[in-house]
Structure 1
Amino acid sequence: MSMTAYRPLQYRAAAGFPLGPWGRASLQGASLCTCEKLLERSEETPSASRRLLCVSRATALNSQQVEALLGTSHFVLLLLPPSGVTLNATEAAEIREIEKLLLDRHSTAAVAFSRETRDATVLLERLNRDEEYDDAPARTRMLRPYLTTYTTYSQEWQPIKSVKGSTLTSWLHGQPGQDGSLPPTIVFVAHHDAFAAVPHFATGISTGGSGLITLLWLARELKMFYKREPLAYSVAFVLADASAMNYEGVADWIGRTDPRLLNATRYVLCLDNVASTALSLHTPKAYKDPEASRFMQMLESSLLEEGVQMSKRTKKIAIGEKVLPFWPHEHFTRAKLIAATLSAEPELKHLWNRSSLTDDSLNKEALVKTVRGLAEGTARFLANVEKPSTRLTFRGGEEAFDVFVSSWVKFFAYRNVPEYMSSPFANRIFVKSLSEEMENVGLSTELHEFDVDMGEFSFSYEPSVTIEVSETRPTFFDWLLLLGAAAYSFAIYLAIKGAMSTNILEGPSCSPAVSPASERGSPRANDTKTK
C-alpha cells in the first residue's frame, strides 16, 4: 500500500533558529502503530531507540498529545478527513490548535499530513486489531504477520528565497468634483491566497474564498446600480495577495497608490471570512467621521434585515509602532485611513495561522445573506437613501448567484491540487481569471506584480513524502518450513539407505532357481514317469 503525505511549512528566523517542525522524514523498514499506542509505550519505555511510524486521525488527538509526540524522534502521520467532510466546531478548533503548535515550536519528530482514503482506513483498522494481540500469549504474537514501512523521501528542505505577489484592482468610477478633484471613494479589500500549517491543504475556502466571492458579486451588483444613475462616489475592489506574509499585498497597494486617491478614500472595508450569520467588525476605534458612521449604519441595518448580526470589536493600534498585523485593516490604519475588517472570527491570536487545514467547506446560506446585506447597504449609502420602498440590489432571482458561488468555490479549491500546483504559472492563471471576471462585468482593471518582503524569515516547503507499507510474515514460518523440508529430505534419505542395506545383507543365491519346464525334462522326471 502506498500513501502520499505532505509536511508542514518550515521557517527560520533571521538568527537561523528553527521555529517550525524539523524532524527527519527518512524511514527504512520501520514498524507501525497508532499514535495513541506510541504515547503509551513512551510512558513505559521513554528511551526507545528504534524509530516508529505512528498513524492516527487528526481528529482523534488533541494538542497536548501532539506536543508529546513532537518531543519524540518518531515519524507522525496524521490523517485529515476526506475532502468536503465538514467537522464539528470542537474538532475544527482542536485541529487549529495543532496547527498553531506545529508553527510555534521546533520538533525532533517528523510530522506529515495526508487525506484519509479507503486504504488509510483499512490500515487504521489493521493497526487497531494488531494492538489487541499485545495481551495475547507469546506464541500467538509470534505467529501473526506484522507491517513495515519505507519512505522514498530523499530531498532536503529547500528555502523559498523569493516570492512574487499579484494584486488586482478594479474600479467603478464616480463623478469627479467641479474643480476636477477625485470623487470620494469606498474601498473593498479581499485576499485571494490561503495559508495553513500545510500549504498543500490550505484551500482557505471560507477565510479567503468567501471574501473573494463576496467582492466579485458586489462588483456585479454595484455595476448594475451604477448603470441606472450617476453617483458621486467611486468604488475600488482590491484583490490582494500575500496575506500569509503579513498582508504584504495590502501594504504594497498602499505604497504604490496615488496619494490623492488615498486622501479621497472615505472608508476601507476588508473582507475576511464572511460566510457566517454572526460577524465581527474589527476596528481600531469608533470613528466620528459622519460619512464613515453613515456607511457603517447602512451596512449594519441591511445585514440585520437579512438575519446577520454585526458587532464592533475595537483594538487600538499605535500608528508609530512597527508590529506584525493581525488583520489587513491595520496597514490602512497606520496609513491614517479609516478602515476595518469584517470577519466571522471574533479574535485572532496567531500571526501565522490565517486559515486552517479544515477550511475546505463553505456555509453557502450564510454567505448569501451576507452578500445581500453588504450589497444593499452599500447601494443605500451611495444613493443616500436610508429605507427605500424597494430593494436597490438583488432584484432578480438568486439562482445565478448560487451557480456563481458553487463554481468559484470549486475553482478556488482547485488551485491547490497537485496538477495545478506543479505549474509555475498557477498563480498567474488564477489571477488572470479574476481579472477576466472583473472586465466582463465592465470594470476597469489593472494588475500589479510585486516582490514579497519575507520579513526576515526564511520559509521552506518540502516536497511530498511517499510512504510504502508492506506486510511481512514472521521468520518463525520460514524456520518451520525449513525444518519441515529438512525432515522430509532426511526421511527420504533414510528410506533409500535402508533399502540399499537390505540388498547387501541378503547377497547372491547359492542354488540356481529351477524353472518348471527344465524340471519336466530332467532325468528324475523321466524316471518318475517310467515307474
Structure 2
Amino acid sequence: MFEEASEVFDNMFKSSFPLTFIVFIPAVLILVSPLPAEAAHEFTVYRMQQYDLQGQPYGTRNAILNTEARTVEAEVLSRRCVIMRLADFSYDKYQKALRQSAGAVVIILPKNMSAVPQDIVQQFMELEPEMLATETIVPVYFAMEDDELMSIYTQTLTSSSSQGSLSAAEVLLHTATANGFQMVTSGAQSKAINDWAITSLEGRLAGVGGEDLPTIVVVAHYDSFGVAPWLSYGADSNGSGVSMLLELARLFSKLYTYKRTHAAYNLLFFVSGGGKFNYQGTKRWLEDNLDHTDSSLLQDNVAFVLCLDTLGNGDSLHLHVSKPPKEGTPQYALLKELEMVVMSQYPEVKFSMVHKKINLADDMLAWEHERFGIRRLPAFTLSHLPSHRLAQRSSIMDVRSVSPSSPRQEHQSGGRSSGEGHLQPHRKGTYRGSKLHRYLPSCCPHLRHLSAVVDWLTAQPRAAQLVDKDSSVVSTLEYHLGRYLKDVKRHYVKADKRDPEFVFYDQLKQTMNAYRVKPAIFDLLLAVCIAAYLGMMYLAIQNFGVLYGVVRRITQPKAKSH
C-alpha cells in the first residue's frame, strides 16, 4: 500500500508541481483561518472643533484617518489611532498621544452623559478649553459607546497592555498572532465653509404714552459650544437664557394688552447668533443699528440692556456689570428691585452684583453685555455663575439635567423685578409687581411651557457651525417670537472675505469603520510557514523510499528469538 501511495505523490509532484498549491494551500488556509467573527463595525464619530477666530486657528486641523488602533497603555503610539474611554481620560494621556505623533485620538463617551459621575464631568469640562487652546494636526474624534465599540476597546486594551510584560520573542509571537483593528474614516479632508451666515432675530413691543419713550433691551444668544460641535447641546448655556427670553416675551405681550399694565417703555427682544464666537451677531446688530441707520430704538433713550446667560442651575443669581449703576438711574432701580424680590420671595437664592471692567486687550469678551458697554450703552448680564471663566459655559457636558424649578425661580425673580416692578410707573391706576398676579393670572410664568422650550432647545446641537439660516432652530425661534412680538426680523452676519473675523470648517461628523485585521508581520510569518511546509513535503516525496524504509523499520515488529 505504501509503495502505491509513494508512486502517486511522486508522479503528482513531478508531473504538475502547481497542483501542490491547489491541494495543500487551501488546506493550510482552512487550518489557520480564525473562527467566524464580525469583520467590521461602522459607527458615527464627531470631530473636535476646527475654526479660526480673529486669524487665530483653534482645534484639530485634520479629518482623515486610516491607521491601526491602540490604547494609550501601548508604549509606541506613533501613527496609531489611540482609543480612550472618558472614565480613563486625562490631559497627560492626551498629551502623550500628541507628543508621539499619534495618527488620531478617539474618545469614547457614555450614552447617558447625565449619569456620568460629577468628578469626571468636572475634570473633563476643565480640560476642554485646554484641548481647544491651540491647533493640532492630529484628528480628534468623539464616539458614543455601544457593545461592539466597547468590545473593540477591550480587545485593543488587552493587546496594548500585555506587550509591556513579555519578552521580545513573546512580543513578536503575540504581534503576529493577535487580532488588530484598522480604523478608517469615510470623509474627505476638511475645508473652510465659504459665505456661512450667522442668523440673529429681533422683535419688539411698543410702549404707551408718547413717541420718545425709553427702550429696554432683553438679549440672549442661542448657540451652544463645546469641544465637539455635534455634541454641543448647551442646556444651561444658553438654552436656559433663550427659554427665559421667550417666556418674558410671552409675559410682556400679555401685560401690554391691558391699559393698566401697558408700561411707558419700548421693549426690544434680541436673540443673537454667534455668541460663543465673541458675540459676532450682537456686534453686527449694533453696527447696523447705531452706524448704518437713522431710525433705531437703540439710537434713542436706552434705559438698560439685560442679557440672560446660564440661568438653569444653582441657587445663586449674579448681576454682572462693567460699571456699577449710579443711584437714580433705571439700572440702579432694577438692581434694587432684584434684591428686594430675591430677599422677600426667594430667600434661598443668593443674589449679588459682580463688577468687572471690560478688558479690550483680551481676544474674547467675558459677557455679552460688554458688547453694549463698548458702545456706551448701559448693560448687564444675569447669570447663576459668579465668573465668566467657569467651564460650564462651553462644554459638551452641558446636557439636559437642568431642573425645571431652577429656571422658574430665576425667571420669576428676573421677570417680576424687571417687568412687573420696574417697568410699571408709579402712577394712579398702576400696580406693583407683587399685586399684578391678582389681576392677571394669565401673566404668571408658565413652568410647563418653560420646560418644554428647554426640552426643544436641547433636543439638537446648536453650535454656530451647524445652525444656518434655513435651520429649524432659527425658523422655530422666529415662529415663537412672532407669536408674542411685533416686527420680527432676521439679521445675518457673514465673515469678511479679505479679513475674516471667523472661519468655520466642515467634516465635523463622519462615519468610521473598524476593520478586523491581522498585522503585516502575520502575512510574512504565514508565508514562511507555508514555504517550509511545502519544502518539507517536497523533500519527503522525493525521498519517499528512504522515508518509507525508516518508517517501516520503526513500525516493523521485532522477530522473536528462539
Q: Does the pair score TM above 0.5?
A: yes
Q: Report whether the alignment pairs 1:163 with 2:196.
A: yes
- Tell me what 2:317 maps to: 279
Contact 2:230 2:461 in 1 (8 A): yes
Change (3 A) 1:147 1:171: same
2: CA distance, partners of 1:22 / 1:340: 36
What is residue 349 of structure 2 aligned with on the other side? 308
- The answer to whether the aligner puts 1:130 opposite 2:159 as a matched pair is yes
Distance change >3 Å, CA 423–CA 94, structure 1 → 2: closer
After superposition, what is the alpha-carbon deviation per residue over 1:486-517, rounded to whole angstroms, capped at 9, x for unaligned? 6997899699989x99xxxxxxxxxxxxxxxx
- Find the counterpart in structure 2 of residue 63 from structure 1: 91
Residue 333 of structure 2 corresponds to which residue in structure 1? 294
Is 1:188–1:269's contact at 8 Å kept on the other side of the alignment? yes
Give ranges in structure 2 of 5+ residues lacking alignment: 1-40, 290-294, 426-430, 550-562
What residue in structure 2 maps to residue 388 of structure 1? 434
**Aligned ranges 1:246-395 → 2 under 5 Å:** 246-257=278-289, 258=295, 261-276=298-313, 277-288=315-326, 289-304=328-343, 305-306=345-346, 307-317=348-358, 324-349=364-389, 355-361=394-400, 362-378=402-418, 379-384=420-425, 388-389=434-435, 391=437, 395=441
For residues 200-279 of structure 1, the aligned pairs below 5 Å read 200-228=230-258, 229=260, 230-257=262-289, 258=295, 261-276=298-313, 277-279=315-317
Inter-CA distance 347–423: structure 2 relative to 1 (3 Å threshold): closer
Measure the CA separation in 1 of the matches of 2:503 and 2:121: 28
Write out per-residue CA displacement over residues 118-149 of structure 1, whole angstroms, 9 at most, x where no aligned residue: 33333333334435633367298368632221
Secondary structure of the structure 2 residue equivalent to 1:159:
coil
| Paired AA for residue 268 in structure 1 | V
Q: What corresponds to 2:150 in structure 1?
A: 121
Cα distance change on mapping 1:473 and 1:64 into 2, 3 Å: closer
* Distance in 2 between residues matched to 1:492 and 1:154, nearest whole Å: 54
Q: Distance in 1 between matches of 2:285 and 2:465?
A: 26
Aligned partner of residue 231 in structure 1, secondary structure: coil
Q: CA deviation at 1:314?
A: 0.6
Higher Cα radius of gyration: 1
Q: Shift of the alpha carbon at 1:156?
A: 2.1
Q: Pick closer, same or farther for the CA change 1:300–1:98 going to 2, 3 Å.
A: same
* Residues 317/238 of structure 1: CA separation in 2 closer, same or farther (3 Å cut): same
- CA RMSD of the aligned region, Å? 3.9
The alpha carbon displacement at 1:246 in A equals: 1.4
Match of 1:445 in 2: 488
3-state SS of 1:346 partner: coil
Give me the whole-angstrom Cα distance separating, in 1, the residues matched to 2:323 and 2:443: 38
1:169, distance to aligned residue in structure 2 (A)? 1.4
Secondary structure of the equivalent of 2:111?
Answer: coil
Q: Tell me if structure 2 keeps the 8 A contact 1:222–1:375.
A: no
How many residues are aligned here? 481
Shift of 1:340: 0.6
Aligned-residue identity in percent: 20
Shift of 1:55: 0.9
Q: Name the SS for the 1:433 alignment partner.
A: helix
Counterpart code for 2:109: L
CA displacement, residues 35-59 of structure 1 (integer Å, 9 cap, x when unaligned): 2x14xx26xxxxx6x5211111234
Q: Which amino acid aligns with 1:236?
A: L
SS at match of 1:238: strand
Give 1:188's aligned residue. 218
Does 2:206 match 1:173?
A: yes
2:478 maps to which of 432, 435, 448: 435
SS in 2 for 1:160: coil
Larger deviation, residues 373-382 vs 88-97: 88-97
Bigger mean CA offset, 321-330 vs 191-200 = 321-330
Check the 8 A contact 2:217/2:270 in 1, yes or no.
yes
Moved more, 156-165 or 474-483: 474-483
1:456 deviation in Å? 4.0
* AA in 1 matched with 2:323: K
TM-score (norm 2): 0.74
| Aligned partners of 1:329 and 1:341 also within 8 Å | yes
| Residues 1:13 and 1:190: Cα distance change in structure 2 (over 3 Å) | closer
Asked if the contact 1:372/1:394 (under 8 Å) is kept, the reply is no
Label 1:87 to 1:358 Cα distance change in 2 as closer, same or farther (>3 A).
same
- Structure 1: which amino acid aligns with 2:270? V
Q: Is the 8 A contact 2:218 2:307 kept in 1?
A: yes
CA distance in 2, matches of 1:481, 1:318: 71
Task: State the alpha-carbon separation in 1 of the partners of residues 466 and 221 from structure 2.
Answer: 22
Show structure 1 runs of 5+ residues with no match: 43-47, 502-531
Q: Which amino acid aligns with 1:291?
A: P
Amino acid aligned to 1:285: K
Report the Cα offset of residue 348 of structure 1.
2.5
Structure 1 CA distance, aligned partners of 2:382 and 2:286?
19
Contact preservation (8 Å) 1:69, 1:109 = no
Residue 371 of structure 1: how far off its partner (Å) = 1.5
Higher mean C-alpha displacement, 127-136 vs 306-315: 127-136
